[in-house]
Amino acid sequence: MYKVFIVDDEELVIESLIATVDWKGCGYEVVGYAQSGEEAVEAAKQIQPDVIFSDIRMPGMNGLELKKRLDDAGISSKFIIVSGLAEFALVQKAIQNNISGYCLKPFDEMEIMGYLIKIKRELDSRRLLPEGEILDLIESGTPEANSRLRRELALADITSSGKEDLRIMLTVRRDRFQINGKTPCFTLRIGYRKFIYVMADKDAAQLMTLFASESRHFLKGIGFSKRDIDSAGFTQAIQDAELQAYQYFTLAEIFTWEESWKTNDMKSAFAVPTDGNNQTFFAHMDSLLSMFQSGLLNIRHALLLYNDCITQLSRKGMESDDLYLYSFEQLADQFEDVRAMIDYLKELFRGEQTDQQHVSMQSGRIHTFSAILEYINEHFGEDITIQGLSKQFNLNSNYISQLFRKELDKTFTEHLTGLRMNRASELLRTTSIPINDIADQVGYQDYFYFSKMFKKMMGSPPRAYRYDQSQNGYISGS
């Protein structure tokens, strides 16, 4: 809530103003009043109000003189003059003194609310951090970052009285979910088609009650964290909510927002059989599918299972480094659901996609590889996978992996990551594009994963890299 202070020498006028406006509904609270300019100066130094309503004609010190005294004291409150006279000269003086509004008595609620809405918009833009900086605070997790994050939550009216009973909703959808405008909420885009919504637990509970009667199609891609989290627990809360948002991928028979974020250590339950018997492997996959559908396993287990299978194929001699997937987004983009993933793994183990296409001395090898490289250079900002290239060029994915090792002495993944990071570093050096937008442009669907990969490749997080480069003489923002 923004703080409002009222100054008028008539107490009845003060009471009338307080009663005229739905202050809380506009995002404000009246924190005090004074009946003289001198009293107002001392109170304002202590309270530091965001908005001051002051009568223009008062004994001793008038409203415009009060404004000057506060300016000289370094108090930059928005100032609205109250007067019983519609005098042009007074209005002109008010404008010259950088007054935010001029209200006549008796008070007109709509007129005052118009000023309050305009001022709140200005205060919000001035006091709330940009989206990218808030994401950095969440990722950092240091005590200082958590303190600044708590301040932002208070400014957005999500927390009050020092309490942080919060809950995070996460959606995996193309567009932002439209939250009721009266519900205080931080909405942050953390990737392509991925948003988080930070709100009070009571508001999240109301949303969950509303959603209870909705269809599975409506609920697809929506998840909630545990309740009563605080700013220090945001990273884990986002992960919890994400597990729920992907319940549709695991074909869970019942969507639930309680307990489904739990990830039990069930790795031994889906360990890939290593006896070489495909029938044993197929039966094991079928039993795991039932566990996914019953809700015992979630998308994190699915990603582990997929990569474990790729590791087994690698041990059998298959060129499989480029088949690994590293995020839920990649897995969900590659396969419609966990059943499609399991069917694909079965095909790999049958050997249907591992027929040998030896690289050495094949006719047209260089021409084919050049076409692949050209395609990657033009589309590296999109969702490119080795499986996608296999379909695009009608080639075995194992063969494409061999081409990269033979021609570039690196894997497909290493080459693609290099292109993306080079472009990201260029954009960070030479532009002021928000970092989450840069992540999108270079092909990363999750801000936090992009930041992690950038730090691994370049030695520092994206924001620190941008700052260091600006200190070295690069000019951003053009």
The answer to whether residue 263 scores a pLDDT higher than 60 is no
Residue 92 has pLDDT above 70, yes or no: no
357 pLDDT above the threshold of 50: no
Residues 3-53: pLDDT tens digits? 999 999 999 999 999 999 999 888 899 999 999 999 999 999 888 899 999
Distance, CA of 410 to CA of 385 (rounded, Å): 15
Q: What percent of the chain has pLDDT over 70?
A: 87
Of 58, 70, 47, 74, give the one whose Cα is nearest residue 7. Answer: 58
- Look at residue 364 in the predicted model and tell me its pLDDT: 56
- What is the homologous superfamily of the domain 415-471 according to CATH? Homeodomain-like (1.10.10.60)
> Is residue 179 scored above 90 in pLDDT?
no
Return the amino acid letter for 200.
Answer: A
Q: Give the model's pLDDT for residue 265.
A: 54
Give the residue range(s) of CATH 1.10.10.60 domains in the chain: 415-471
Task: List, for residues 295-315, the tens digit of each pLDDT value.
Answer: 889 999 999 999 999 988 888
Compute the average pLDDT of residues 57-71: 89
Q: Which pTM value belongs to this model?
A: 0.67
* Six token digits for residue 447: 């801000």
Is the separation of the CB atoms in 174 and 193 below 8 Å?
yes
Note the pLDDT of residue 150: 85
The burial class, CB within 10 Å (0-12 / 13-18 / 19+), for 119 is buried
Q: How far apart are CA 53 and CA 94, in angstroms?
A: 13
Asked which of 80-94, 190-204, 244-258, 295-309 is least confident by mean pLDDT, the reply is: 80-94
Mean pLDDT within 174-193? 82
What the block records as the tokens of 405 is 């090792």
Identify the DSSP state of 337: S
Inform me whether the pLDDT recorded for 254 exceeds 80: no
Residue 170: strand pairing partners: 196, 223
Q: Which of 264-268, 327-331, 405-409 has the lowest mean pLDDT?
A: 264-268
**Rounded Cα gap, residues 360 and 355, in angstroms:** 15
pLDDT at site 307: 93
Q: Is 6 exposed, middle or buried (0-12, 13-18, 19+ CB in 10 A)?
A: buried
DSSP class of residue 229?
B
d(CA 343, CA 469): 48
Residues of the chain with CATH 3.40.50.2300: 2-127
Residues 388-431: tens digit of each pLDDT: 898 888 888 888 888 888 889 999 999 999 999 999 999 999 99
* Residue 297: count of CB within 10 angstroms of its CB: 24
pLDDT-wise least confident of 126-130, 305-309, 374-378, 463-467? 126-130
Q: Which distant-in-sequence residues (6+ apart) come within 8 Å of 375 by Cβ?
A: 389, 392, 393
- 2-127 maps to CATH 3.40.50.2300: yes
Q: Characterize the bridge pairing of strands 78-83 and 166-172.
A: unpaired
Phi/psi of residue 257, nearest 5 degrees: -110, 15
Its sign, for the CA torsion 184, 185, 186, 192, is negative
Tokens encoding 10: 């008539």
- Whether pLDDT at 470 is above 50: yes
Q: What is the DSSP string of 14-62?
A: HHHHHHHS-HHHHTEEEEEEESSHHHHHHHHHHH--SEEEEES--SSS-
CA distances to 115, 116, 400 from 6, in Å: 15, 14, 73
